[in-house]
Amino acid sequence: MEKLSFSFDYTVYDSVDELDETRKKLIEKAVEAGHKAYAPYSSFHVGAAVLLESGKMISGSNQENASYPVGICAERTLLSFVHANHPEDKKTILAVSVLDTDSAASPCGLCRQTIIEYENVQKQSIEILLHNRSGSVLSIPSGSALLPLHFDSESLS
Ligand code: THU
């Protein structure tokens, strides 16, 4: 028998002003996208923006549906679009901003699984910045840090 444990380091910033210009800009894009969220059912507006290796910044927001389970989180709306249109351009930093709460919101399980899929395909971690109405920001080193013992393509072989 062997007992193992899992932990990861992350950083908490009290304000976006503590971030470098690139990260600040990415969060601004996520906030802008959050204002365009289609969230008539939850009124919970989430924006996401990704920085690609080429320098492009692309954003998206949550898209809800009268049939509630059909709704898609901001992270997956964005990552599906980005991978469909720029599959070779690595995703380096993903910023997520929740407009309607002061507490840190973290990606749901489906979004964590999605982030990990793209980390695996590009063989590179995606830094995740979590921003909320209070202005604080968490920087998490990767999607896989958020989903220990996850299922991925290797699990299938
Ligand atoms: N939501 C996101 O877009 N991203 C998250 O990280 C958490 C939740 C959305 C889904 C739904 O439209 C609304 O927020 C309430 O759950």
The pTM is what? 0.97
Which of 40-44, 51-55, 60-64, 152-156 shows the lowest per-residue confidence on average (mean pLDDT)? 152-156
Mean pLDDT along residues 30-58: 98
21 is known as an active-site residue: no
Mapped onto helix, strand or coil, the DSSP state of residue 137 is strand
What residues does ligand 1 touch, defined as CB less than 6 Å away?
Answer: 39, 42, 44, 46, 62, 64, 71, 73-75, 96, 105, 107-108, 111
Domains in the chain (CATH in brackets) are: 11-151 (3.40.140.10)
Which residue among the candidates 64, 75, 88, 127 is catalytic per the annotation?
Answer: 75
The pLDDT value given to residue 25: 98
The pLDDT value given to residue 42: 98
| Whether residue 103 has pLDDT greater than 90 | no
Mean pLDDT along residues 106-122: 98
Mention every residue, 6+ apart, whose C-beta is less than 8 A from residue 106.
130, 138, 146
